[in-house]
Amino acid sequence: MTPPDRLRALLAQPGLIVMPAVWDGISAKLAAEAGYGTAFLSGSCVAASRLGGPDLDLVSFGEMFDSFTMVRNAAPDTLVLADGDHGYGNAMNVQRTVQAYGRAGAAAVLIEDKITPRALTAAGKPCLPREEARMKIRAAVEAAKESGVLVLARTDCRPTQGIDEAVARIALFAEEGADILFLDSPADEDEIRRGIAAAGGKPCFCVLSPGAPRATPSRTEAEALGYRIATYPTGMLSPAIAGMKAGLAALLRGEAEASAALPPAELRETLGYGSYDRAAKRFIVPG
């Protein structure tokens, strides 16, 4: 089965699919080894990793696609939902983005309706007019037919245009053939229910990391509300940053490593030195 077919089969089963947010080889490998069969290639995590900064539309398609390649190489069996952001331009750019991810083995690709480049402020996400947004999703769905990759259609318009417009867009994107729907930044459970109802039975996606100005239900609550996929963009990123800060603080104190550091043997095994040696044995020339 192809990655999109495997994800469709997974979505046909009951329950909430939890996708850790990954950004490179080691994050993808650790998620897979922890037992997760799916992962979200998060634009915010890639921005943090590559730019050392926030996700403010500065990461290019080339950088995201390179990160996707790292993730796929490190965890080839993982079903990856790729963050296609705004498609990196107009509807034709959207088609190129969706086709590239589909050909490369993504299970699904996210396309959203925000305007880019955004205004020179970190606040808010102005969005395209409704019909322009519709054409982007139409272009994505058309391009997805080549590989079968699923299209996740996201609207960011709730904070700037209100819940009625956001719900209308979810219904419109579902009508256009999007496979998964994502209404970002619902204010409360009532808005969550409205968004899920507007999807017309198609699976809905949510972000459950704390800290953002949105309703953030628990995993159990999210499943009860009807969500089918949940991701945690800060779930690995925040502890990783905390660990690096702890390591640097230990060095500043004159110590060799932080108290939470992995024992050397465990670190080597996690990185794969042992598996490398086992695989390479077949090619060693005797004597």
- Which range of residues forms the domain containing residue 12? 3-240
Q: Is residue 266 part of a domain?
A: no
Q: Is 261 a domain residue?
A: no
Please give the Cα distance from 137 to 61 (Å, whole number): 18
Task: Tell me the pLDDT tens digit for each residue of 140-170.
Answer: 999 999 999 999 999 999 999 999 999 999 9
pLDDT of residue 125: 82
Which residues are CB-neighbours of 286 under 8 A, at least 6 positions away? Answer: none
Task: Confirm whether 218 is domain-assigned.
Answer: yes
Residue 116 located in a structural domain? yes
Q: How far is CA 220 from the centre of its chain?
A: 20
Q: What is the pLDDT of residues 26-63, one digit of tens each?
A: 999 999 999 999 999 999 999 999 999 999 999 999 99
Q: Is residue 117 part of a domain?
A: yes
Look at residue 113 in the predicted model and tell me its pLDDT.
Answer: 97
Does a structural domain hold residue 287?
A: no
* Structural domains counted in the chain: 1
Joined tokens for residue 146: 């080549």
Q: What average pLDDT does the chain have?
A: 96
Q: Which of 225, 216, 224, 217 is nearest to 193 (CA)?
A: 225
Q: Taking the chain (287 residues) in consecutive chunks of 10 residues, what is each chunk's mean pLDDT?
A: 98 97 98 98 97 94 98 98 97 98 98 87 83 98 98 96 97 98 97 98 96 91 98 97 98 97 96 95 93
Domain annotation covers residue 226? yes
Omega before 126 cis (within 30°)? no
C-alpha torsion sign, points 60, 65, 180, 225: negative
The pTM score is: 0.95
Strands of 200-282, DSSP E: 205-207, 229-232
Per-residue model confidence (pLDDT) at position 147: 98
Identify the residue whose tokens are 């997760």.
36
Residue 259 domain-assigned (yes or no): no
Task: Kindly report the CATH number assigned to the domain that includes residue 114.
Answer: 3.20.20.60
